């Protein structure tokens, strides 16, 4: 089975021009077929503030009212996505920028209101892996922003980590898929104050031990639960670390397997 790498980058990389350029260079040099997924929450917050629109967050998740959805569509789907595509073209990567509405690639449903009304936030229901594969087979590199749609004309703000994992699951029927979650740390750390204390391998057994020892806590728990969900649904490996894990020289990052 041919390999396919799905790389998701976080907002801190997007916000720093030097880090972004270095990442895109690494991405362009990555061998084989690949897909890039990005968010852009920090930029969206910054531009919302400039326009006098307050950003509301609950448990690290953005409440997306109609006004906020307009900003997210402009920032994720326009400003960030098209800048990234242009920079990749300069690096000889034939990138194509997409939302989940394009070629009906990712359909979601609006998150139901329970304790909190998140507004126009989507939970992914369906990935059109055959359509995405047509782009890949035609020699294009898809660059997805964190926007999906409901199939009835409504765009929805969707978590970029979830988009990366659901695309990887969808494509795993055709490819040997791996996910790379790139962020500012070297990986999952044993000691948060020691940036080199990377836990290199986590499987279901060691994950339980790390939870019991309170080494993995708070926001990292849903992230790793998502990783195991992807692995249980056909993804081969999930990697978490900084952007240098995309090079052959670096082995100081976290790999998650079953």
- In order of their start, the domains of the chain are 6-27+34-175 (3.40.1160.10), 176-258 (no CATH)
**Backbone CA torsion sign across 13, 199, 30, 32:** negative
In the structure encoding, which two tokens stand for residue 43, read together? 């930029």
Q: CA separation (Å) from 148 to 9, 109, 129, 160, 238? A: 17, 9, 14, 10, 23
Please determine, for residue 222, whether its predicted confidence score (pLDDT) is greater than 90.
no
Mean of the pLDDT values across residues 211-227?
87
**Token pair 């790999």 is at which residue?**
255
Tell me the per-residue pLDDT of 230-243, one tens digit each, with 9 for 90 and over. Answer: 999 999 999 999 99
For residue 112, give the DSSP letter: P
The DSSP string of 214-245 is TSS-TTHHHHHHHHHHHHTTT--EEEEE-GGG
- 8 A C-beta contact, residue 36 and residue 243: no
- 62 is annotated as contributing to ligand binding: yes
Residue 157 known to bind ligand: yes
122 is in an annotated binding site: no
| C-beta neighbour count of 115 within 10 angstroms | 5
Task: Kindly state the DSSP code that residue 249 receives in the 8-state scheme.
Answer: S
Residue 219's pLDDT is 77
H helices of 30-65, where? 41-50
Instruction: Tell whether 11 is in a known binding site.
Output: no
| pTM, full prediction | 0.95
Report residue 10's pLDDT band, with 50, 70 and 90 as the boundaries: confident
For the stretch 82-133, pLDDT in tens is 999 999 999 999 999 999 999 999 999 999 998 899 999 999 999 999 999 9
Tell me how far apart the alpha carbons of residues 142 and 119 are, in angstroms, rounded to a whole number. 27
Does 210 score more than 80 pLDDT?
yes
């Amino acid at each position: 089975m041919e390999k396919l790498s799905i790389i998701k980058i976080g907002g801190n990389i997007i916000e720093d021009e030097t880090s972004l350029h270095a990442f895109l260079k690494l991405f362009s040099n990555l061998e084989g077929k690949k897909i890039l997924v990005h968010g852009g929450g920090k930029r969206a917050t910054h531009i919302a503030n400039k326009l006098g629109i307050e950003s509301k967050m609950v448990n690290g998740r953005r409440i997306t009212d109609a006004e906020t959805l307009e900003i997210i569509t402009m920032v994720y789907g326009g400003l960030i996505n098209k800048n990234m595509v242009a920079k990749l073209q300069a690096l000889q990567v034939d990138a194509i920028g997409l939302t989940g509405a394009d070629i009906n690639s990712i359909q979601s449903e609006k998150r139901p209101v329970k304790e909190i009304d998140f507004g126009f936030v989507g939970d992914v229901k369906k990935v059109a892996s055959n359509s995405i594969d047509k782009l890949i087979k035609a020699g294009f590199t898809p660059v997805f922003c964190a926007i999906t749609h409901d199939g009835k004309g409504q765009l929805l703000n969707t978590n970029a980590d979830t988009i990366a994992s659901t695309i990887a699951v969808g494509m795993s029927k055709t490819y040997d898929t791996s996910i790379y979650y790139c962020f500012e740390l070297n990986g999952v750390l044993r000691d948060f104050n020691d940036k080199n204390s990377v836990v290199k391998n986590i499987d279901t057994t060691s994950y339980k031990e790390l939870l019991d020892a309170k080494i993995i806590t708070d926001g990292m728990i849903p992230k790793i639960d998502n990783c195991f969900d992807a692995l249980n649904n056909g993804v081969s490996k999930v990697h978490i670390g900084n952007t240098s894990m995309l090079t052959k020289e670096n082995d100081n990052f976290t790999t998650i397997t079953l």
